[in-house]
Amino acid sequence: MRKTTVSGLMASALLVISSPLLAGEFIVGGGAVSFKSPYKDFKDNSSAYLLAEYEGENFSVGSEGINYRLLGDDEGPFSLYATLDSVGMGFDSGDSTFFSGMAERDSSFDLGLSADYQLADSVISASVLHDISGAHKGFTADLSYSYLVPLGEHAMFVPMVGVNYLSEEFTDYYFGVRTREATASRAAYKADATANTYVGYSLDMPLNESWSINHSASYIWLGDEVTDSSLVDRDTSWFASLGVAYRF
């Protein structure tokens, strides 16, 4: 699977923000990730990963993309961000036997707005991102609710539930089958807009002031426009990761 995300942009951004004029917190680490793809006979469902993030007062670079806070502050309940992320995950013919003879699908870079609203121990998050790379040329929207559960004096457990909307352009690009790509076992398919729902959690367990263990998992119920594709043989998908991080 073509997992080109924002890593290149993250590396460039980290070079810029490493200036001593910018105060913030750097996070480095690594771990393992495993996932179940909805695609038929998909290969490489687990891998190692390296982590390099930066968290400043209004600017951050990390696994949730590049974010710049436009409104709000750390003391208030509401924050609005300009966000650059990579939502669309591409594939090529080597990722599954069912992709043989298909044109590859490119990963995307997506720009838009995201927002968080915190009330007591709950957080409502939303985002709308549009492809600016010319890959799928569509947009996605996400709405989630999470709840902060302290475990002991330092650890934090955060369960969440949400819905992810995929535009027609996005769904058809990654799950559609063009007429010239159709075979006896891979029917032509034109996908429409759809929505996935999901539940998940994250767990952060500090070991000391610098080191922590991080674990997250999510389970996704795929929309009908995804599951009806001849490339897909599942109604659900899942993702899990376990890693260690060092803050300085």
Give the whole-angstrom CA distance, residue 37 versus residue 58: 34
- pTM for the model stands at 0.86
pLDDT tens-digit series, residues 184-206: 999 999 999 999 999 999 999 99
Give the whole-angstrom CA distance, residue 166 versus residue 177: 17
Domain membership of residue 34 (yes or no) is yes
Q: What's the domain range around 174? A: 7-247
In this prediction, residue 22 carries a pLDDT of 53
Total structural domains within the chain: 1
Domain membership of residue 77 (yes or no) is yes
The arithmetic mean of pLDDT across residues 169-185, rounded, is 95
Q: Report the CATH number that the domain containing residue 205 is assigned in CATH.
A: 2.40.160.40
**Dihedral over Cα of 70, 73, 78, 79: its sign:** positive
Give the whole-angstrom CA distance, residue 48 versus residue 244: 12
Q: Which residue has the tokens 């790509």?
A: 181
The arithmetic mean of pLDDT across residues 206-211, rounded, is 94
Q: Is the pLDDT of residue 6 over 90?
A: no
Domain membership of residue 1 (yes or no) is no
Domain membership of residue 197 (yes or no) is yes
Domain membership of residue 167 (yes or no) is yes
CB 143 within 8 A of CB 157: no
Q: Is the pLDDT of residue 45 over 50?
A: yes
Domain membership of residue 2 (yes or no) is no
Q: Is the pLDDT of residue 7 over 90?
A: no
